[in-house]
Every structure is written in structure tokens, then in C-alpha cells.
């Protein structure tokens, strides 16, 4: 871990018990401790990356919106943590190349295929983007599904009665695209099967 990343990790270890009423963490034994890995998660809050930063015992390199780097403090902070940008709404070969380079040197990359965490009407989700398939196919890195629940209420003053949230984070077993049972040429089916590996880990699907 780089020094800034290690410092953030230590700070989160102190703050997490104070900010969350309960934390339910499952599947830590699934984490690959060496070599490339592609963490793929649902996206419900700006705070989602903190779960990986806190729980994964190695530095994870996050892909984030490129326009966030235009904010001086945020951009400098992200660069110090090894975060790299991706342009939204258009193909971004540079971001794909950067992700592949990180995986090729044996480090993990984290992606949020749904892109936006803006809330939608109940029962609807943002459709996943196809960049995750391109990175997975070209790198051959194992995909680690991550499901997060509860963080969407953290720091929401308009819901003060909720108090500190109960947070669930579940890591599933690593898999490859070949294991999804969809045709390699059917990108839509692959995406849906990939995201099912994530959503099946959510608390409502485990009860």
C-alpha cells in the first residue's frame, strides 16, 4: 500500500465503528491476496469505495468519474490514492488501457458497472456499462463480486431518525466470464449474468 492509502485505511478502521451501528461482513476468505483481481460492485453511495479500502488487505485501484479530478482537492486526493478517471457517456480507451495496465502488473482494480449512484424509483437500477466486459475479457483477471447495502443512508441529515446505518458487505467467490453460462458474443446477457452474481449476495437474497 502507498502511504496515503495506508493512512486512509487506518483512519477508516477508527471511524467505521463510530459511523455504523452494525457491520455485517461476509466472504473475506474469498479475497484473492495476490495477483490481479477485478472487484465488481453495486453502487448505492458515494461511500461505497470505503468498504474495499477498509476491508481488502491490499491496495485497490478505483476507476472514478473523470470530471471529479477537475476539483482541485478531490483530484489531488484521488491521485494520491491511485484512483484513475473514466469519461462518462462516451467510450474511453485511455481508462480501459489504464485498468488493463494495473491488472497486468498484478494489482486489483475496482469497478462500479452501474456508473451512477443516483437513486431511481423502487425496483429500478441503472443499467451496467459494457466496459467491465472489455476489461475482464482482455485481462483474464478473476472477477470478485461485492454486494453493499446500508451505506445509502450514511450522512443523510434529512433522515435523522435512521441514526447510524446497519451496513452489509458480502464478497462472493471469484469467477470468470466463461462461468456465467452466456454466449461470449451476447454482451447484454453477459452483463446481466455478471450483475446477478452481485445482486444475489445482497441481504434480501440471502434470507
User: Burial, 190: exposed, middle or buried (Cβ in 10 Å; 0-12, 13-18, 19+)?
Assistant: buried
Domain tally, the chain: 1
The CATH number linked to 91 is 3.40.1130.10
Instruction: Tell me the residue range of the domain where 13 lies.
Output: 3-206
Q: CA-CA distances (angstroms) from residue 206 to 118, 192, 200, 201?
A: 25, 19, 7, 7
Exposed (0-12), middle (13-18) or buried (19+): which is 158, by Cβ within 10 Å? Answer: exposed
Q: Per-residue pLDDT for the chain (207 aa), expressed as one digit of tens each?
A: 889 999 999 999 998 888 888 889 999 998 999 999 999 998 888 888 889 999 999 999 998 877 778 887 888 888 888 988 877 766 678 888 999 999 999 999 999 887 655 444 444 455 566 778 889 999 999 999 999 988 777 765 555 555 678 889 999 999 998 888 777 777 788 888 888 899 899 887 665
SS3 assignment for 86-143: ECCCCCCHHHHHHHHHHHHCCCEEEECCCCCCCCCCCCCCCCCCCHHHHHHHHHCCCE
pTM of the predicted structure, to 2 decimals = 0.85
Look at residue 120 in the predicted model and tell me its pLDDT: 42
C-alpha cell at 155: 450522512
Amino acid at each position: 500500500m502507498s502511504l496515503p492509502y495506508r493512512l486512509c485505511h487506518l483512519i477508516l478502521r477508527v471511524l467505521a465503528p463510530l459511523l455504523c451501528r452494525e457491520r455485517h461482513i461476509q466472504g473475506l476468505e474469498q479475497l484473492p491476496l495476490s495477483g490481479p483481481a477485478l472487484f465488481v460492485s453495486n453502487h448505492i453511495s458515494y461511500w461505497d469505495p470505503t468498504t474495499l479500502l477498509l476491508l481488502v488487505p491490499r491496495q485497490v485501484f478505483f476507476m472514478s468519474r473523470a470530471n471529479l479530478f477537475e476539483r482541485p482537492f478531490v483530484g489531488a486526493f484521488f491521485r494520491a490514492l491511485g484512483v484513475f478517471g473514466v469519461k462518462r457517456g462516451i467510450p474511453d480507451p485511455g481508462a480501459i488501457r489504464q485498468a488493463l495496465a494495473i491488472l497486468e502488473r498484478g494489482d486489483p482494480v475496482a469497478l462500479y458497472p452501474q456508473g451512477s449512484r443516483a437513486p431511481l424509483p423502487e425496483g429500478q437500477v441503472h443499467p451496467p456499462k459494457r466496459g467491465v466486459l472489455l476489461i475482464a475479457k482482455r485481462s483474464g483477471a478473476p472477477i470478485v463480486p461485492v454486494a453493499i447495502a446500508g451505506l445509502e443512508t450514511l450522512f443523510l441529515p434529512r433522515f435523522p431518525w435512521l441514526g447510524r446505518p446497519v451496513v452489509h458487505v458480502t464478497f462472493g467467490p471469484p469467477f470468470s466470464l466463461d462461468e456465467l453460462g452466456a454466449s461470449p458474443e451476447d454482451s447484454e446477457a453477459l452483463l446481466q449474468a455478471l450483475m446477478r452474481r452481485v445482486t444475489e449476495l445482497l441481504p434480501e437474497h440471502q434470507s
